[in-house]
Chain A
Amino acid sequence: MIRDTAIRVGSQAETVEDTCAEFVMDEETFRAFYERTARGVWVYLSRVTGDREMADDLLQETFYRFLRAKSVYESESHRRNALYRIATNLARDVRRKTLTRPAPILAGDDIESAASGTPGAAERAADFTRAMSSLEPRERAMLWMAYAEGSSHQEIAAVLGLRTASLKCMMFRARRKLASLLGGGAEGGKR
């Protein structure tokens, strides 16, 4: 049990019993919530930032800020949206700080992993990574939330801080852009 565990940090040993920080939920609830959401948040962060190591760092920061937030959550989906909103804001802040450096595009491991799967998977993974890296970070985030996380327009708008009506239009454009980069979609499709 973690409660009985003494963990040594540097030369200083402390137990969890010594800590009494006030969090938005208790340990048991947090652990269950984390198990349900952490993988999805990591994938989201790694896709939005395009950098796995950054996603590792931001994942912990996201959950820390979530725990420290003085918010009351009405439901699981409200809680989940708050988590993604924090992740989105962190990714945006990191992007602003590292604007001068070109962002890594998360290609190598994607392709290697996909190559061990079905035939043609490596090419598809490479194409997808290239196409995603051509999108704006906000476009990546909205498409990912819609089609990887299954979030509704209202949820995505809340997470990205947009109006739902604006989001629909932006989503349409982002989808068109990605479809055309992937070589699919109806080029002259009617609206």
Chain B
Amino acid sequence: MTPFECEFEAEVLAAALQDRWPGRVDAELRAHAAGCAVCSDVAAIAKAIEENRATLAAQAAIPDSGRVWWMAQLRARREDSAAASRPLTAAHAAGLVCALALLAACSRIAWPWFRGVLARMASADAATWFAPAARALAEHGAVALAMALVLLLLPAAAYLALGRD
């Protein structure tokens, strides 16, 4: 027994909960409790806690077990579904990042050519720049087409990847 316990604690507790304390217990136990911090405190609080527990328990408005089960099932299913779609969302985001990187790389490659075209357009009249521009377009048409497609498809891809979340 530690100084924080007493061998008579259970006896005092039972007497308090059964409304036998202090009138209907042995005088010896009463005399012990008078000098024992553990037992006197138990006698002082046990009945009050039990009364309060009974009052609160009578007031408790507990939801029906079937409803709690059903709500838990719904919530679990929702959470499972969200967890399952998380990798998919990550894949969509990764795809978007790759598309942006591709666009940046294409822009970098095509930029000198595009700047040259702009410079020629600025320095010559329509008749003289049309032929070289058409020739250049024929040579680098694939790059230009890819860039145009990326520019057009990027917003749609972003919407599909992130819009539904």
A residues near B (Cβ < 8 Å) are 2, 5, 7, 9, 14, 16, 18-23, 27, 30-31, 34-35, 38-40, 42-43, 46-47, 52, 56, 59-60, 63-64, 67-68, 109-110, 113-114, 117, 121, 124-125, 128-129, 132, 143-144, 147-148, 165, 168-169, 171-172, 175-176, 178-179, 182-186, 189-191
Q: Are the C-beta atoms of A21 and B56 separated by less than 8 Å?
A: no
Q: Assess whether B13 is in contact with A147, with CB atoms less than 8 Å apart.
A: yes
List B residues 86-123 near A (Cβ within 8 Å): none
Contact at B66–A2, with CB atoms within 8 Å?
Answer: yes
- Shortest CB-to-CB span from B123 to chain A, Å, is 65
User: Which residues in window 24-83 of B have CB below 8 A to A?
Assistant: 33-38, 40-46, 48-53, 55-63, 65-77, 80
Asked if B18 is an interface residue, CB under 8 A from chain A, the answer is no
Q: Which residues of B contact A5 (CB under 8 A)?
A: 66, 70
What residues of chain A lie closer than 8 Å to B37, measured between beta carbons?
Answer: 172, 176, 185-186, 189-191
B163 at the A interface (CB under 8 A): no
Count of chain B residues with a beta carbon within 8 Å of a chain A beta carbon: 47
B36 to A, closest residue via Cβ: A189
Candidates A19, A31, A114; contact of B76 at CB < 8 Å: A19
Contact B77 A19 (CB under 8 A): yes
Contacts of B38 in A (CB 8 A): 172, 175, 189
Closest to A14 in B: B74
CB–CB A30/B49 < 8 A: no
Supplied contacts A128-B49, A175-B38, 14 more A-B pairs, CB within 8 Å: A2-B70, A34-B65, A40-B57, A43-B56, A47-B56, A64-B71, A110-B55, A125-B51, A143-B45, A169-B4, A182-B45, A184-B41, A184-B45, A186-B34
16 interchain pairs, CB-CB under 8 A: A5-B66, A7-B70, A9-B74, A21-B73, A22-B76, A23-B76, A30-B65, A114-B55, A128-B48, A147-B49, A168-B4, A172-B37, A179-B45, A185-B43, A186-B36, A190-B36
